[in-house]
Structure 1
Amino acid sequence: MSTSETPAKQTIITIVGSGMMGSALVFPARENGHTVRLVGSPLDGEIIDACRKTGRHPKFVKDFPAGVEYYKIEELDKAMDGADLLICGISSFGVEWFAEYMLPRIPETLPVVSVTKGLIDDGTGQLISYPEYWARRAAPRKLRLNAIGGPCTSYELVAQDQTVVTFCGEDLETLRWMKGLMQRPYYHIAVSTDVMGVETAVALKNAYAYGVCITVGACERVYGIDSIPHYNSQAGAFGQSMLEMQKLMRLLGSSNDEALAVGIGDLYVTVFGGRNRLLGKLLGRGLPLDAALKELEGITLEGNVIVVRIVKALRAWAAQGKVDLAEYPLIAHLGEVLIDNKPANIPWEAFVAEKR
């Protein structure tokens, strides 16, 4: 089907990765009348078994729409047969698996859109987006790789809360076609060709959410877990996060205010409803990193990956005289916590230090 045509009711959408976000996208896709095939990754066998038995994802409180088809990874060829759109629903921990296992199996004619958020070192010290990384891994084949960014938690999408996201990619026609497939009265989709800007913004929010949520845990440590929320410290860390995100986006090649807004919105929803909030709070309460991670065993924490990658890159660039770490005090401190295993202690005075 040409990407300029109105999407047919029986367009086939295959979603690889039956985690919460990949599975949440089943709802708008199937509600629009498309054939939807949900494929579990190699780690998702039990999830697919549960979906087949109950018609519901184990972590959702709402049944999938009728007619969704469920496949295990061993049935991938069947699930991809005739597909018009492939959605990558894996977490950042599955990026290499997707590169090695999925990319060779994706036809160049099949558009792909990914919900995976993050940045990765390209081997030269430069950070690039996952779509760019996959494009390089797939070369010389030219795959049609796109991504979804923006403030969207899976369970609220399932609940049909009003949600605004951005589909980004190189080709506007393809983006508009995908928007036509997926948009719903509660799922609103902007389109952007600034892939690096959008992907950088939504990756950074996972890192900076820790900074804001550490302040939540610190207040709980001082005033009690059931105390009235304290917002001054949260706002101070949130404002610093926005400032550093903007600087990092410019450093990595994007000064797009719209992309920054996508990241700020995503930061907001992650602070109040994301999984990374849990680790930030525990660190703020004074738990050592190892103890906090043990308490959250089994929960996917993508913020850890991006903090480590950003801070390692910044430290290398600082050693080369390319950046001044003093301009990034919050992310630098998060690196001390997650890389150097130091206790969380937000460097407030560094936020207001006069720049020379």
Structure 2
Amino acid sequence: MSEKIAVLGAGSWGSILANLLDENGNQVSLWSYNPKQVEELNTKHTNTHYIKDFTYSETLIAYADLKEALTDATTILFVVPTKAVRSVAGQVKAVLAETHAKPALIHASKGIEQDTYKRVSEILAEEIPAENRSSITVLSGPSHAEDVAKRDITLITAASTDLDAAKHVQNLFMNHYFRVYTNSDVIGVEIAAALKNIIALGTGALHGLGYGDNAKAALMTRGLAEVSRLGGSFGANPQTFMGLAGVGDIIVTGTSSNSRNWRAGDQLGKGKSLDEVIKNMGMVIEGVATTKAAYELAKQRGVDMPITEAIYQVLYEGKEIRQAISDLMQREGRSEF
């Protein structure tokens, strides 16, 4: 059954998800704050800053006006950087209050808000009251936009405390190359989604330094243990971290140059400063801000996260990367579990 869906955020992931929803027979409006990007999408059906050599559906319409994009939408998909979620959600609330609409909300943003340490679903729940939404669902898992653009096989998770809402999202996105599983563990899925970017920074740095597969596998495995520990302190289901949103996303983000967090780590490993890396990337590197939030959360909750702490020291305290690695390797021996 076709729906009117508003996708907020026209970066690589947002625009490709919008195109997929359009392919699946829905009426999709794609919102961007950038009028030039909107013009390119509507006239050339390209989004070259984010996805090169890809032509979007001609029936996918982009808007620079948020209210226009939201008109008659029964579902709203947020795919904006975490730092922008609260602001955009506040604008959406104003429109929904005016139109008396009550759409289903989905988000595919991966991060933790600075200072408040809120997960994205918590921000949405705070900014958009229950009378202006029917549900909130998280969409996450091992998924590069570039691969989905090529219709490569992709499996991800839709997580909601409302199973019917998760099934609704599953039905919206499923097709012959994009498969969605449902999950009720919103906490675990969101924490895994955010913290895997920290691990990707680390594996990218190892690559930049010239380390091999053994080192990267070690970091991903022990990094996953840290993510699981922090998630467990919030009551997340341990199985979630063994699933698509956990180990699956760490594999795809921690091993591929399609990951901007991996690319950022790679540049750091090659000796570039954080400021240089951020300037060169031209896109938000979620893992940088998430490292700070996770480090502070771990301290607050008494959770042991030595890899996260080491990456924090490199990013925010100027510690030399090789010294950080050496200090990790020379920690006192302990049991794996």
- d(CA) in 1 for partners of 2:166 and 2:90? 25
1:330 maps to: 307
Deviation at 1:142, TM superposition (A): 5.8
Identity %: 22
Which residue matches 1:109? 102
Task: Tell me by how many angstroms 1:310 deviates.
Answer: 0.8
Match of 1:241 in 2: 223
> Which of 240, 249, 252 lines up with 1:269 in the alignment?
252
Residue 185 to residue 168, structure 1, CA distance change in 2 (3 Å): same
TM-score (normalised: structure 1) = 0.84
Q: Which moved more, 1:191-200 or 1:235-244?
A: 235-244
With 173-182 and 343-352 compared, the bigger mean Cα shift is at 343-352
- Relative to structure 1, the CA distance from residue 109 to residue 299 in structure 2 (aligned partners, 3 Å threshold; closer, same or farther) is closer
SS in 1 for 2:249: helix
Q: Is the 8 A contact 2:188 2:241 kept in 1?
A: yes
- Is 1:353 aligned to residue 333 of structure 2? yes
- How far did residue 260 of structure 1 move? 4.0
The residue number in structure 1 matching 2:128 is 138
CA drift of 1:35 comes to 1.0
- Displacement of 1:89 in angstroms is 1.7
Letter in 1 for 2:126: R
1:303 counterpart (287, 304, 319): 287
Partner of 1:99: 89
Task: Quote the Cα distance in structure 1 between the aligned partners of 2:124 and 2:182.
Answer: 21
- 2:298 maps to what in 1? 314
In structure 2, the CA distance between the partners of 1:178 and 1:26, relative to structure 1 (3 Å rule), is same
Residue 185 in 1 paired to residue 152 in 2?
Answer: no
Identify if the C-alpha distance between structure 1 residues 297 and 187 changes in structure 2 by more than 3 Å, giving closer, same or farther.
closer
* Distance across 2 between alignment mates of 1:242 and 1:27: 32
2:317 is the counterpart of 1:340 = yes
Counterparts of 2:214 and 2:103 in 1: how far apart (Å)? 48
User: Once the 2 structures are TM-superposed, how far is the Cα of residue 36 of structure 1 from its aligned partner?
Assistant: 1.2
Take 1:99 and 1:31, find their aligned partners in 2: how far apart are those partners?
26
Q: Which moved more, 1:136-145 or 1:83-92?
A: 136-145
Residue 102 of structure 1 aligns to a residue in which SS?
Answer: helix
Once the two structures are superposed, what CA deviation does each residue of 1:145-170 show, in whole Å capped at 9, x if it has no partner?
A: 22111011111111101001111112
SS at match of 1:83: coil
Cα contact 2:224–2:241 (8 A) shared by 1: no
**1:136-215 matches, cutoff 5 A:** 136-139=126-129, 141=131, 143=133, 144-215=135-206
Q: Counterparts of 2:55 and 2:4 in 1: how far apart (Å)?
A: 20
Give CA deviations for 1:278-318 in whole Å, capped at 9, x if unaligned: 11112222333333334x24132011111011112223x2x
Taking a change above 3 Å as real, the CA distance of residues 265 and 13 of structure 1, as seen in their structure-2 partners, is same
Q: How far does residue 105 in structure 1 lie from its aligned partner after superposition?
A: 2.4
How many residues align? The count is 323
- Once residues 7 and 145 of structure 2 are traced to their aligned partners in structure 1, the CA distance between those partners, rounded to angstroms, is 15
The one of 24, 28, 33 equivalent to 1:32 is 24
Q: Which structure 1 segments of 5+ residues have no match?
A: 1-7, 221-229
Is the Cα contact below 8 Å between 1:246 and 1:260 reproduced in 2? Answer: no
Distance in 1 between residues matched to 2:92 and 2:7, nearest whole Å: 12
Q: 1:276 to 1:323 in 2, by over 3 A?
A: same
Q: Which residue of the partner structure matches residue 282 of structure 1?
A: 267
- Which residue number corresponds to residue 22 of structure 1? 14
**Native 8 Å contact 2:86 2:123 kept in 1:** no
Q: Which structure 1 residue ranges, 4+ long, deviate > 6 Å from structure 2?
A: none
Post-superposition CA distance 1:240-278 (Å, at most 9, x none): 112111111112321331344222211111121300111
Deviation at 1:108, TM superposition (A): 5.9
Q: CA RMSD, aligned part only? A: 2.1
Q: CA deviation at 1:332?
A: 0.5
Report the AA paired with residue 33 of structure 1.
G
Q: Within 2, Cα distance between the matches of 1:275 and 1:259?
A: 22
Structure 2 residue 233 is the aligned partner of structure 1 residue 251: yes
Aligned residue number for residue 48 of structure 1: 38
- Counterpart position of 1:223: none
Which consecutive residues of structure 2, in runs of 5 or more, have no partner in the other structure?
none
CA distance in 1, matches of 2:74, 2:145: 23
Residue 162 of structure 1 aligns to which amino acid in structure 2?
Answer: I
- Closer, same or farther: CA 285–351 of 1 in aligned 2, 3 Å: farther
Q: Residues 55 and 290 of structure 1: is their aligned pair in 2 closer, same or farther, counting only changes over 3 Å?
A: closer
Deviations 1:162-189 (A, max 9, x none): 0011111121112212211221111000
**Counterpart selection for 1:69 from 61, 65, 68:** 61
After the TM superposition, which residues 221-232 of structure 1 pair with which residues of structure 2 at under 5 Å, given as runs? Answer: 230-232=212-214
Deviates more, 1:156-165 or 1:254-263: 254-263
| SS of match in other structure, 2:152 | coil
